[in-house]
Amino acid sequence: MSSGRVFRFAPTPENPTRHLFVFLHGCGATAQSMIPIAFKFQARFPSAALVVPSGFNPDARGGAPQDWYPTNGLNPDNHRERVASVLPDVEDLVRREQTNFGMTACRTVLIGFSQGGTVALEAVKSPGIAGAVVAFSSRFAQTPCRGSRISSRIHLVHGAFDSVVSRVYAERAARVLAGLHVPVTLDIVEDLGHALSHRAISLGSLRLLQGIYEGRRATLH
């Protein structure tokens, strides 16, 4: 795995750590680009510890580890294979941070944009990594097949005018996940392309909050 930088932020001082949020940036971006988004989530979740790692692909962007997997020559036939190749490193990273902050998988949330969201969605096909995913402008590398068991809540937020990753992928994923009885939400943000807006981030953090509340309420009955 590339030794890209990992930024870590503890909860606000008066709050004990109750959740771990791991933020996965988009293709050709940097970990630093996700830090403002991370703080917007922490504003709604003051007891969340934030981890913002750099991508693993050392060949990306002139040697800087700013992609999670190579995009040169990427096509539908090799997409799944390329994502799968980095998932063990992603899992190692998440487990290390869980140990570091003393957080369980069910209190861990993966939050990703574009390529980072794809990595997050594929990661939770394996059980016991995270309790929830918030995926912005993302798609599965391979839509979950019939009989798949995904134990995480999935929150999809997508721009209506995304020309890089069509909203069709998010709509299809929401239908498939609902058919598998996976708790899923889908928000299509009007007038938004392949980008993160204040509205999109607010929706993503709101759906996450609602999902955590619903899960907690379900355990009380």
Q: Is the whole model's pTM more than 0.85, yes or no?
A: yes
Is 114 annotated as catalytic? yes
Which pairs from 105-108 meet CB under 8 Å and 24+ separation?
Answer: 105/129, 105/130, 105/131, 106/131, 107/18, 107/19, 107/20, 107/131, 108/19, 108/20, 108/21, 108/22
Q: Report the C-alpha gap between 216 and 221 in whole angstroms.
A: 9
Is 187 annotated as catalytic? no
pLDDT 10s digits, 165-208: 999 999 999 999 999 999 999 999 999 999 999 999 999 999 99
Do residues 157 and 203 touch, judged by C-beta distance below 8 A?
A: yes
User: Which among 54, 114, 138, 205 is annotated as catalytic?
Assistant: 114
CATH superfamily of domain region 6-220: Alpha/Beta hydrolase fold, catalytic domain (3.40.50.1820)
User: Which among 158, 162, 187, 205 is annotated as catalytic?
Assistant: 162
Q: What is the pLDDT of residue 161?
A: 97
Q: Report the C-alpha gap between 29 and 65 in whole angstroms.
A: 9
Q: Could you tell me whether strands 6-9 and 19-24 are parallel, antiparallel, or unpaired per DSSP bridges?
A: unpaired
Domain ranges of the chain: 6-220
Is 137 annotated as catalytic? no
Q: Which residues of the chain have pLDDT under 50?
A: 1-3, 63, 65, 220-221
